[in-house]
Structure 1
Amino acid sequence: MHHLETTKVNQTKRALSLDLARGSMLFLIILSHIPLFLYTIEPGVITKVAGSTFLDHFFNFLMEILVDNRARPLFAVLFGYGLVMIYRKQCERNDAAEAMRIIKRRCWYLILFGAILAGVAGGQDILMTYGIAGLFFAFSLKKDNKKIKKYVLLSTVICILYIPLFWGGVLVENQAYGLPVELTGQETYSGTILERLVSIPIIPLFTHLTFPVIPSILMGIWLGNLNILIQPEKHIKLLKRLTIGGLTISLAGAIPLVLINDVWFPDLFTAGFAYGVHILTGFAGGVGYAALFGLLGIAITKRGLIIHAIAAMGKRSLTFFVIHEILTVILLSPMAFHLGAHLTVTTSVLVGILMWMFTLSIAYLMERQQINGPLESYLRYLVYNKQRKRTMS
């Protein structure tokens, strides 16, 4: 009886830690993607647009400290963690070979979903990027954590060697601190469909080279092997160390970028180098955020309305990621309501908050009515239907 109660508690903690992380991650992704659609404002530093008021500068500051190049690594950590959970469950039900086939099948369908999102809907892709990484690094699910640590170290060192230099060169070539906004305001859906379709294979390659996620995915596999978010109460000391250490490194790595063009005016190569450091320290930020949600899963003993809603969104993270991307395109791009031509940094943040709150209420209602995320359900059907057919035959 005691064992059953302990198992139930562990499942509750696991669901809360993971689902809170996933639901909150979606909010960070909204905030990081919306500025890409502010196409009438002058470029600021790298991907930010220039602020014109105190609030604009304040929100840009918060974004660079807490969100930019931090939301993506958190997503990658959770993706790697999820791969471990799927692999472990399928090994228990079938065998390692079948588990690997299922993992790779899921990755192929994620690539397909991402291609449709980017090519047809015009959203920002991360699904193709993670799907490709999953295909190449699925083998690491068979390895113990000693091997995983070596993979993390090797992939991180490779990124350290070229990312700051690469971005230094990008800004020198650009001849400005800020990268130009891709949108002009003249785009139409029919006029850009061919360009979007052609760019499908380029997008994940570009992301892997310039905003690498592989170290963070491997970190997620390492954490998954420890069961650190499924059984967080057994890893409190490690969770605290990862939270404090990861977020401290993340904060320190963001400070140079925050100072550029306001307090510090370095040469272009140095500014790009600082942005590379911002990307690299985001790896630690992703792990720090994941560990923080592990601690929150322990600390939260009563679930209020907001906690229930965030967890409900986290359970349906694939569905709501796609919804958020489509809503962002519809509301902000010139292909639909073109709000991106009229928003400021401050009002764009408010739009992001309202979007998240609106979809949060939908997630909460879906949970109350016990409605699964449609994309999650469809992905499970696609992945496991072939498995059932093979078993029956």
Structure 2
Amino acid sequence: MARTGGRLTEFVTTFREGPTEVRERALGPDLARGFMLLFIALANSHYFVRGTSYFGGFPQDGGVVDRAISWTIATFVDGRAFPMFGLLFGYGVAQIVRRQSGRPRDTRRLLWRRSLVLIVLGLLHGTLLYVGDILGAYGVLLLLGAWTVRWKDRWLWIIAVLVFVLTALPSDGSLAITTDGPDVSMVPPDLATQFVERIKVTPLIAALGPIGFAGPFLIGLWAGRRRILEFPDRHRTLLRGTAIVGITAAVLGAQPVALMIARVIDRQDHLDYFGPLHDATGVLGGFGYAALIALWSIRLADAPGPITRAIAATGQRSLTCYLAQSVVWTIVFTPYLLDLSDDLGITGTAVLATATWAATVLAADRMNRAGYRGPFELLIRRFTYRSKQRVPSR
């Protein structure tokens, strides 16, 4: 027996390959994925809003409420949620590797199958629904990252720190300081234009995306080897320090860009420094959020309430819920459908994003009560573990 999150949980004494069953899953990682999907929705939806001028993906002609919400999203959400998902992605890969009893070559092949299905799903998702897809980038990252799962810890840290330093160097390519609004690939006027434009952009995002996710992915592998998020009560000091330092750095590092986005201060020179500062501290913030939620899960693990269980169920079905968000963006913002990019504004899209996330939480909870794993979770597991006889739905 071992104490986990304040409760006694019996270890499974027989080794089993294949995906982790729901009853064996730790609360912390699922809760983190479920909650951060709200941040993903808030981070993605504001890029659809039309205006006369833009900064950091936000129209610059909104009122006081829009400006306040823009500051909040730029401070706590943008560039902070995606690094956390990169960390959790690496953590999940470490869990997969730990459950394999075969040769390293067999494990790599399993991970490559998983990467292939992510790449295909990402290309379809980016072309049909949301051009800012991250699934393809995760697939490419895993395709290459399958070679890193046997690296020694120090090499995971060395490469992660190197990537962090390189991405923190001055650059004018950060989304945090972009002055572009939604282009034709994001809000295409017709279906033909959508396919033509997005087929150019989606593979490029898939190819370049791993650069930003590589550092969090490698740290996630390291954390997954130690099961830090699964047994947070054993790592309280590390998690507390990470939460305090990471979130503080993220909030402070965001302020130059966030205050400019909210038009509290005039747009400054040297944006090529402020953009990378916003992004680099966002990586630390992603780590901080993961640590904070893991600490929170210690208190909730003994008697999780209905809201906690519902958010965890959302995290268990994060792929399905992420794709469901894109269905909403497509219907609401596409010009040949509802075309509400001119009507909602920053406040409207924030409300829409929150409502969309809440709807996916309710749907995930219903699926959990019905014992249904989620359509895209089943798809990716069946493709990944095609040689296994047992692919449990619960």
With normalisation by structure 2, the TM-score equals 0.88
What is aligned with 1:63? 73
Correspondence list, 1:150-189, <5 A: 150-161=158-169, 164-167=170-173, 178-183=179-184, 187-189=189-191
Change (3 A) 1:185 1:149: closer
Corresponding residue for residue 376 of structure 1? 377
Q: Which residue of 2 aligns with 1:53?
A: 63
CA deviation profile, 1:65-84 (whole Å, cap 9, x unmatched): 11000111011011011110
Change (3 A) 1:197 1:304: same
* 2:89 counterpart of 1:79: yes
Q: Distance in 2 between matches of 1:170 and 1:7?
A: 44
CA distance in 1, matches of 2:205, 2:187: 21
**What are the residue-to-residue correspondences of 1:183-262 with 2, within 5 Å?**
183=184, 187-208=189-210, 212-260=212-260, 262=263
Q: What SS class does the counterpart of residue 342 from structure 1 fall into? A: coil
Distance apart, 1:98 and its partner CA? 1.3
In structure 2, what residue type is equivalent to 1:200?
T
Task: Please tell me whether the aligned partners of residues 168 and 279 of structure 2 are also in contact (alpha carbons under 8 angstroms).
Answer: no
The Cα offsets for residues 52-92 of structure 1, whole Å up to 9 and x where unpaired, read as: 2221111101101110001110110110111100111123x
User: Which string of whole-angstrom CA distances, capped at 9 and with x for unpartnered residues, describes residues 9-59 of structure 1?
Assistant: 9997962111111111111111111111112x2333221222522211111
Counterpart residue number, 2:18: none
Match of 2:31 in 1: 20
Structure having the higher helix fraction is: 1
Count of residue pairs the alignment pairs up = 376
1:324-343, aligned counterparts within 5 Å? 324-343=325-344
Is the Cα contact below 8 Å between 2:228 and 2:235 reproduced in 1? yes
Alpha carbons 1:254, 1:278 under 8 Å: kept: yes
CA distance in 1, matches of 2:176, 2:367: 45
Q: Is the 8 A contact 1:13 1:298 kept in 2?
A: no
Amino acid at match of 1:165: S
Does the CA-based 8 Å contact 2:87-2:219 persist in structure 1?
yes
Pair 1:126 & 2:168 matched: no
Q: CA deviation at 1:247?
A: 0.6
Q: Report if aligned partners of 2:27, 2:230 keep a CA contact under 8 Å in 1.
A: no
The runs of 5 or more residues in structure 1 that have no matched partner are: 172-176
Separation in structure 2 between the aligned mates of residue 96 and residue 153 of structure 1, nearest angstrom: 26
Letter in 2 for 1:159: T
Aligned in 2, Cα 1:54/1:303: closer, same or farther, shift over 3 Å? same
Offset at 1:278? 0.4
Cα distance in 1 between the residues matched to 2:352 and 2:260: 26
Distance 1:223 1:186 in 2: 41
Contact 1:31/1:67 (<8 A) preserved:
yes
The one-letter amino acid paired with 1:114 is G
Residue 173 of structure 2 aligns to a residue whose secondary structure is helix
Q: Is the 8 A contact 2:71 2:259 kept in 1?
A: no
> Is the contact made by 1:38 and 1:49 (CA closer than 8 Å) also made in structure 2?
yes
Q: Which amino acid aligns with 1:280?
A: A
**Cα distance in 1 between the residues matched to 2:142 and 2:366:** 32
CA positional deviation for 1:272 = 3.5
Q: Which moved more, 1:103-112 or 1:139-148?
A: 139-148
8 Å contact from structure 2 (residues 313, 364) kept in 1: yes
Q: Kindly tell me: are residues 166 and 44 of structure 1, through their superposed partners in 2, closer, same or farther at Cα, counting changes over 3 Å?
A: closer
Q: Check whether the contact 2:121–2:135 (CA below 8 A) recurs between aligned residues.
A: yes
2:150 matched residue in structure 1: 142
Contact 2:83 2:283 in 1 (8 A): yes
Amino acid paired to 1:193? F
Name the counterpart of 2:17. none
Indicate the residue corresponding to 1:174 in structure 2: none
Q: 1:230 to 1:14 in 2, by over 3 A?
A: farther
CA distance 1:361–1:272, change in 2 (3 Å): same
- 2: CA distance between counterparts of 1:233 and 1:105? 34
> Judging changes above 3 Å, is the alpha-carbon distance between structure 1 residues 29 and 186 closer, same or farther for their aligned structure 2 residues?
closer
Alignment partner of 1:202: what SS?
helix
Q: CA deviation at 1:123?
A: 4.3
Task: Give the drift of 1:198.
Answer: 3.1
Backbone CA RMSD of aligned residues: 2.6
Structure 1 distance, partners of 2:257, 2:176, is 15
1:341-390 deviation per Cα after TM superposition (whole angstroms, max 9, x unaligned): 2101111111111111112111111111111111110111112114669x
**Conservation of the 8 A alpha-carbon contact between 2:2 and 2:11:** no
d(CA) in 2 for partners of 1:34, 1:25: 14
